[in-house]
Chains A and B, each alone.
Chain A
């Protein structure tokens, strides 16, 4: 097995459907070193690592190991070169034991009684890096930290010199994070190369020797962690200093529309995802929630729109208690919702445009009479929507899945706005859209604000947050790190707040 002393990726570029995900990226890492790869979601970190792992082919650029260029066409080739990857979502067979999972994909596994040989080696690795794994336990019985260790051992079994860890701490408890860091330090001392993908400043500062910062597919900074402070890194990550550049008219603060009180929500895996969040939104106001996705935004939005039950706390709209009501009651009380993942939640892709144009409203009196749908009204409404919201479609008789993402999103937004809701909840409304559609959608949100609506905007795009919002809350691991007025100069620290390094006393 060749040992990797030094690995570099030079001028790597990769585009998906013409949109660059990686643009001339350079990184390098050497034996006994931990390199941090820092950036927001969508900055291109995972794409870069998938290229290194052989899952994607770069459009241009080279990968050099010990100074010699190599081609990595598949994960198999990358494993042979000594590269291992621990994915954010573990790739384990839940009903098999830890030992069986490790044996699977391990070349030297004998055909008969594979566990025996594998178990011996597991014990060997466990001693070496000082952690405990019971090879007889089934994967579903293990904690996230233990499953991660299985993934690490799997990589080591295959002779990995270089270990890539994609957001390794996102599913771990604080104690498990500490244990992981001890293991990684030991591996570093053994001469392994480690690349750690993260958007958390603190762990980058604690664990890494050097850090490369990515933003929107480009390298925006390189630094040794000893010689840099968190503030500088946060600035590199956002790509620029925060500028205040708002062209929206002042609106008098009026009636309170939404009131959320001490809300706690549990996520799909049973962990608390929203922890004691309180805020309110007024008429003529856009309230933004900034943060890296996966920090509880989805659970918060689902609790407000009735899609998920909350644990404790309350939600009121226009003074009416709508805590834990059904989605239909939430809608009828005045909450519209532009969901994230529009295709997955927002439409029935195989149904016609006019059928999707009334989704969620089909029970209203103008579209249902005596249990029958009034197609005449529905089609008129749809034609009107297409015109008003500039949805480009050949006719209302096409299957909705044939529209582009931008047009589907315009249709959903139009549908949700057309009933003039008291509160519009918009989750990542411009994610993945082109510039034109993005601008149009943002203008529509501002228009809604002008017309007396309240808007809750959840977005990862800080530009969007700053351009649109009157007040901004920053969410990190289910908690608000502060609610600030858009004019507040302390928003310059938003990068620190998003990564959980700073908490600011709310101004409002």
Chain B
């Protein structure tokens, strides 16, 4: 046997026994920081001064009156969807289908608006549209839940695939039966009647009814999750489904309700986008621009707490708006924002690992034989 003296190190990973709020905040800041540095390197590689880029992002989103208004506008769907996703992820139901749950909400809300809007006053038609939107999103969310529980079909696949189904369905509607008579052959539906269009804060695109709805529902969801028996059962199932079964919790019923809420929240966001911003249905990617995916990161950044989703929703809305700003001012490609978001998510998830584990490098001599 040869006896080479090589210093070796191994990585020693142990569970962190006590997670204090201080450590939570520090890991959050550290992972955001590390993510920013990485993004900075990417900026550098594409020939942009990262500090200037970050300054532009900030000034474009939070640093100007116009920026703030736009940020709040984009935060509305993110808060709504993020709150619903936080609930689903708490129950360990990996809902990747918020994008199409939003579209379903937009479709059913628009349908109600177009059909009954002309005959009803705003105070009746607007709530009806939100109800319909919630129902549409909820229906679209419940289907994968049933598939998972009854037939053990992985929800990541089914929710993702349903995004494509819904997008194609929507295109079918706008080029086919719902194609507007007043749109000169463009693949849009007709405009919603005036009573069905959501009011805006003067000088902005903020449809305040939806904003109010987003904040109220975030608070309500937090109360449901932390104060009610139902929320308790959701958290037990998410932590340990076996313990849930042992405790007599009805897994089927709980998961259905959770996915109805999660899909329904996205549906509300869809109504907001359709009736507050666009006023008619057009191609799926112009109605949503990926809110359903961005909201996944929003929910994680909020540590799956619906209340914190308000803050993280604003944060990511800022990145979206700031991203648009640097695309214009620095001539960066449209994918910049997606790279930005993806990189941050990776670092947030890594941060979670370091939050839950202690990692040490241990230097060791080779074993003596």
A residues contacting B by CB (< 8 A) are 71, 306-307, 326-329, 331, 337, 339, 344-351, 355, 359-360, 362-363, 368, 371-373, 375, 398-399, 401-402
Instruction: From known contacts A307-B246, A337-B246, A339-B246, infer whether A348 and B229 are also in contact, taking CB-CB under 8 Å.
Output: no
Query: Which 10 A-B residue pairs are closest in the complex by CB-CB distance?
Result: A328-B248, A348-B239, A327-B248, A360-B247, A368-B229, A348-B240, A350-B239, A348-B236, A359-B247, A345-B246
Chain A residues closer than 8 Å to B17, beta-carbon distance: 402
With beta carbons under 8 angstroms apart, the residue of B227, B232, B242 that contacts A344 is: B242
Give Cα distance in the complex from A334 to B227, angstroms: 27
Q: How far apart are B364's CB and chain A's nearest CB, in angstroms?
A: 15
With beta carbons under 8 angstroms apart, the residue of B18, B228, B230 that contacts A402 is: B18
Q: How far apart are A356's CB and chain B's nearest CB, in angstroms?
A: 8
Chain A residues closer than 8 Å to B278, beta-carbon distance: none
Instruction: From known contacts A362-B229, A373-B229, A373-B232, infer whether A327 and B246 are also in contact, taking CB-CB under 8 Å.
Output: yes
Contact B230 A348 (CB under 8 A): no
Q: How far apart are A503's CB and chain B's nearest CB, in angstroms?
A: 33
Contact A326 B248 (CB under 8 A): yes
Contact A359 B243 (CB under 8 A): yes
Q: How far apart are B304's CB and chain A's nearest CB, in angstroms?
A: 11
Does B119 have its Cβ within 8 Å of any Cβ on chain A? no
Chain B residues closer than 8 Å to A346, beta-carbon distance: 243, 246
Does B207 have its Cβ within 8 Å of any Cβ on chain A? no
Give Cα distance in the complex from A339 to B245, angstroms: 12
Give Cα distance in the complex from A372 to B229, angstroms: 6
With beta carbons under 8 angstroms apart, the residue of A71, A362, A368 that contacts B247 is: A362
Q: How far apart are A404's CB and chain B's nearest CB, in angstroms?
A: 11
Contact B235 A371 (CB under 8 A): no
Give Cα distance in the complex from A88 to B246, angstroms: 28
Contact B242 A345 (CB under 8 A): yes
Give Cα distance in the complex from A326 to B240, angstroms: 18
Chain A residues closer than 8 Å to B244, beta-carbon distance: 348
**In this complex, which of B15, B245, B246 has the most chain A Cβ atoms within 10 angstroms of its Cβ?**
B246
With beta carbons under 8 angstroms apart, the residue of B15, B19, B246 that contacts A360 is: B246
Residue of A nearest to B244 (CB): A348
Residue of A nearest to B19 (CB): A399
Contact B229 A359 (CB under 8 A): no
Contact B242 A359 (CB under 8 A): no
Does B369 have its Cβ within 8 Å of any Cβ on chain A? yes
Q: How far apart are B10's CB and chain A's nearest CB, in angstroms?
A: 15
Contact B239 A351 (CB under 8 A): yes
Can you list 28 residue pairs at the A/B interface with Cβ under 8 Å? A71-B369, A307-B246, A327-B246, A327-B248, A329-B248, A339-B246, A344-B240, A344-B242, A345-B242, A346-B243, A347-B243, A348-B236, A348-B243, A348-B244, A349-B239, A350-B239, A351-B236, A355-B232, A355-B235, A355-B236, A359-B236, A363-B229, A363-B248, A371-B230, A372-B227, A373-B228, A373-B232, A402-B17
Contact B230 A398 (CB under 8 A): no
Give Cα distance in the complex from A297 to B229, angstroms: 33
Give Cα distance in the complex from A71 to B1, angstroms: 12
Q: How far apart are A52's CB and chain B's nearest CB, in angstroms?
A: 18
Q: How far apart are A368's CB and chain B's nearest CB, in angstroms?
A: 5
Give Cα distance in the complex from A351 to B239, angstroms: 8
Chain A residues closer than 8 Å to B236, beta-carbon distance: 348, 351, 355, 359
With beta carbons under 8 angstroms apart, the residue of B15, B227, B243, B246 that contacts A373 is: B227
Identify which of residues 221-239 in chain B touch chain A, using a CB-to-CB cut-off of 8 Å.
Answer: 227-230, 232-233, 235-236, 239
Chain A residues closer than 8 Å to B230, beta-carbon distance: 371
Chain A residues closer than 8 Å to B369, beta-carbon distance: 71
Give Cα distance in the complex from A359 to B19, angstroms: 23
B residues contacting A by CB (< 8 A) are 15, 17-19, 227-230, 232-233, 235-236, 239-240, 242-248, 369
**In this complex, which of B227, B245, B247 has the most chain A Cβ atoms within 10 angstroms of its Cβ?**
B247
Chain A residues closer than 8 Å to B19, beta-carbon distance: 399
Give Cα distance in the complex from A372 to B233, angstroms: 12
Residue of B nearest to A351 (CB): B239
**In this complex, which of B228, B243, B244 has the most chain A Cβ atoms within 10 angstroms of its Cβ?**
B243
Residue of A nearest to B246 (CB): A345
Q: A327-B247, A346-B243, A350-B239 are in contact. List 16 more A-B contacts (CB 8 A).
A: A71-B369, A307-B245, A307-B246, A326-B248, A327-B246, A327-B248, A328-B248, A344-B243, A345-B246, A346-B246, A348-B235, A348-B239, A348-B243, A349-B239, A362-B229, A363-B229
Q: How far apart are A396's CB and chain B's nearest CB, in angstroms?
A: 14
Give Cα distance in the complex from A346 to B240, angstroms: 9
Residue of A nearest to B16 (CB): A402
Contact A371 B248 (CB under 8 A): no
Residue of A nearest to B235 (CB): A351
Chain B residues closer than 8 Å to A362, beta-carbon distance: 229, 232-233, 247
With beta carbons under 8 angstroms apart, the residue of B228, B235, B239, B242 that contacts A372 is: B228
Contact B245 A327 (CB under 8 A): yes
Q: How far apart are A305's CB and chain B's nearest CB, in angstroms?
A: 8
Chain A residues closer than 8 Å to B242, beta-carbon distance: 344-345
Contact B228 A349 (CB under 8 A): no
Give Cα distance in the complex from A350 to B230, angstroms: 17
Q: How far apart are A357's CB and chain B's nearest CB, in angstroms?
A: 12
Give Cα distance in the complex from A360 to B232, angstroms: 11
Give Cα distance in the complex from A306 to B248, angstroms: 9
Instruction: From known contacts A326-B248, A348-B236, infer whether A398 and B243 are also in contact, taking CB-CB under 8 Å.
Output: no
**In this complex, which of B15, B230, B232, B369 has the most chain A Cβ atoms within 10 angstroms of its Cβ?**
B232
Instruction: From known contacts A346-B243, A347-B243, A348-B243, infer whether A360 and B228 are also in contact, taking CB-CB under 8 Å.
Output: no
Give Cα distance in the complex from A406 to B236, angstroms: 22
Chain A residues closer than 8 Å to B235, beta-carbon distance: 348, 351, 355
Instruction: From known contacts A362-B229, A363-B229, infer whether A347 and B240 are also in contact, taking CB-CB under 8 Å.
Output: yes
Q: How far apart are A445's CB and chain B's nearest CB, in angstroms?
A: 20
Contact B248 A360 (CB under 8 A): yes
Give Cα distance in the complex from A360 to B245, angstroms: 9
Residue of B nearest to A347 (CB): B243
Chain B residues closer than 8 Å to A350, beta-carbon distance: 239
Give Cα distance in the complex from A327 to B18, angstroms: 33
Give Cα distance in the complex from A372 to B224, angstroms: 8
Residue of A nearest to B242 (CB): A345
Give Cα distance in the complex from A306 to B243, angstroms: 13
Give Cα distance in the complex from A375 to B244, angstroms: 19
Chain B residues closer than 8 Å to A348, beta-carbon distance: 235-236, 239-240, 243-244
Residue of A nearest to B356 (CB): A350
Contact B247 A371 (CB under 8 A): no
Residue of B nearest to A337 (CB): B246
Q: How far apart are A48's CB and chain B's nearest CB, in angstroms?
A: 22
Give Cα distance in the complex from A434 to B222, angstroms: 41
Chain B residues closer than 8 Å to A360, beta-carbon distance: 246-248
Chain B residues closer than 8 Å to A355, beta-carbon distance: 232, 235-236
Residue of A nearest to B226 (CB): A373
**In this complex, which of B17, B236, B244 has the most chain A Cβ atoms within 10 angstroms of its Cβ?**
B236
Contact A349 B240 (CB under 8 A): yes
